[in-house]
Amino acid sequence: MIWIIGAKGMLGHDVSLTLEKSGLTCYGSDKEVDILSPSALAAKAEEISPDWIVNCSAYTAVDRAEDETELAYKLNRDGVGNIARLANKLDIPVIHISTDYVFDGTSETPLAEDAPTGPISVYGKSKLAGDKVLMDTCEKVFIIRTAWLYGQFGSNFVYTMIKLMNKLDTLKVVADQKGSPTWSRDLAGLIATIIQADSTEYGIFHYSGEEDCSWYDFAREIYREGKETGLISGNCLINPCSSSEFPTKATRPAYSLLSKDKVKTVFSISVPKWQDSIKIFMKGINNNDII
């Protein structure tokens, strides 16, 4: 039995679908089993006897976290700590999702798992605190750091762009932040691989779409695919701009491309190029057939 915590979130949804498609028996919980309540977690574990926990729950409001520091830490550090202690007690592995925002953005080359962290936002700091609790508490833990996640079942950059490109004649998109988008379905596939292999290769792994881009490059690809599939009907001119033209409450790392060398070697997988994944995603949502 695989227990997916945060199953109603964007990634949680895709993990549930992917694991079930792989023939794995899953149980999904979300806010009704509050990760802040050790007794609620323990009672659910008693009921379902999980063999694995996949934690997709989190506080993910990056900008709001600057004002809701306490809440961000509660969920991303303390809630994760509750899951970690439970998994350790049950002696079962946990797969947990972390973020490229644990880095400060000053690197100029793809970030390996042992690259120095230095989060520059409350969200990034709270996620890093959760990773540390897990590493300190759990013997059997996989922490997967991912980036720029989009998927069918959540609000994300792709949906925002499609909406804006259908409404506006021109659009400015930030061109001075580099990273790589990740389709939640691809990440869910990695999670299925780890569980199906019954892997004991515990540790931190990086996973995002292959090859780098800026948000501007990503927006242009969304536009191109949107025109091709018919998801975008009008014409919209997309212009590059700098982060300073779009001030956000939380600072984002200027560079956060994750190296996938470790994950590819350890799990013998290939990582799809972000351009290929966005194409499949947009064709799928257009035809309503990616479920």
Q: Which is nearer to ligand NAP, 217 or 236 (CB)?
A: 217
Site for ligand NAP in 126-145 (CB under 6 A): 127
* Cα–Cα distance, 118 to 281 (Å, whole number): 32
263 near ligand NAP (CB under 6 A): no
* Cα–Cα distance, 180 to 198 (Å, whole number): 28
* Cα–Cα distance, 97 to 142 (Å, whole number): 8
179 near ligand NAP (CB under 6 A): no
- Shortest distance, position 187 Cβ to ligand NAP, whole Å: 8
276 near ligand NAP (CB under 6 A): no
Q: Could you tell me which residues are beta bridge partners of residue 146? A: 99
* Cα–Cα distance, 48 to 158 (Å, whole number): 36
Q: Which is nearer to ligand NAP, 14 or 225 (CB)?
A: 14
What the block records as the tokens of 232 is 């975008």
- Shortest distance, position 210 Cβ to ligand NAP, whole Å: 16
Q: Which residue has the tokens 């700098």?
A: 242
Q: Please give the DSSP secondary-structure letter assigned to residue 65.
A: G
147 near ligand NAP (CB under 6 A): yes
57 near ligand NAP (CB under 6 A): yes
Classified as helix, coil or strand, 207 is: coil
Q: Please give the DSSP secondary-structure letter assigned to residue 255.
A: B
Q: Which is nearer to ligand NAP, 29 or 236 (CB)?
A: 29
Assess whether 123 carries a catalytic annotation: yes
Which residues of the shown chain bind ligand NAP in the complex (CB under 6 A)? Answer: 6, 8-12, 30-31, 34-36, 56-58, 60, 75, 79, 97, 99, 127, 146-149, 154
